[in-house]
Amino acid sequence: MTPVTIKRIYKKDYEGYRLPIEYTTDSYYDVSLIRTDDGWKADFSVARFPSPVTHTQEEYDYPDKLFQKHWRGAFAYGAFDGENLIGAIELYPEKWANRIRVTELWVDEKYRRQGTGKRLMNIAKAQAKKRGARMLILETQSCNVNAIGFYLHEGFDLVGFLSCDYTNSDLSRKEVRFEMGWFNRV
């Protein structure tokens, strides 16, 4: 296996490139929302599915692709084994909020747990520092516990959630949108 190299990738070469994102999980963060006289209480506790669940691009009408038109101004970096793209991170400056959104992060399953995701995330952190952004922000799902573990390890925290972002039954489907943020302390 050749060493993995990371380099900037450009819209002219990768616009519309479909990322083969999928994952299997046996657990999820169970989100409980409780209405009280004083407001709401939220609880996020790890629970187990009765059997493993796999999420693939085919189940969604909106697959993950690089350089989608609504991310005007996005820029990306790719991880390569020789000429093969084996990972990518796409970043979008949200100028109105002085933050950078990680719109896509993918590493081929064969290359996970070898530091490639960390190297890509380090580029995102360096870009946040270089551009003076106050934070990095990203979206993941409450059932993508491996991704959440990676983000927590990288210094991200849960900064918000949407209980009905994907469907009206996200809570019962155990697929709640989590927003996670890394705060630029420089």
Is 120 exposed, middle or buried (CB count within 10 Å of its CB: 0-12, 13-18, 19+)?
Answer: buried
In a structure prediction context, what are the per-residue pLDDT tens digits for the chain, which is 186 residues long? 568 999 999 999 999 999 998 899 999 999 999 999 999 999 999 999 999 999 887 776 667 899 999 999 999 999 999 999 999 999 999 999 999 999 999 999 999 999 999 999 999 999 999 999 999 999 999 999 999 999 999 999 999 999 999 889 999 999 999 999 999 986
Judged by DSSP in three states, 19 sits in coil
Judged by DSSP in three states, 184 sits in coil
The whole-model pTM stands at 0.93
Question: Which residue type sits at 155?
Answer: G
Strand pairing category for 99-107 and 135-141: parallel
Which has the closest alpha carbon to 16: 60, 67, 58, 56?
Answer: 67
Strand residue runs (E) in the chain: 4-9, 23-36, 39-55, 75-81, 84-94, 99-107, 135-141, 157-162, 177-183
Sketch out the chain's domains with CATH numbers: 4-134 (3.40.630.30)
How far apart are alpha carbons 151 and 119 in whole angstroms?
A: 13
Residue 88: count of CB within 10 angstroms of its CB:
23
How far apart are alpha carbons 106 and 86 in whole angstroms?
A: 8
Please name the residue that has the structure tokens 């983000």.
Answer: 151
How far apart are alpha carbons 107 and 125 in whole angstroms?
A: 17
H-helix segments, the chain: 11-14, 116-131, 145-153, 170-173
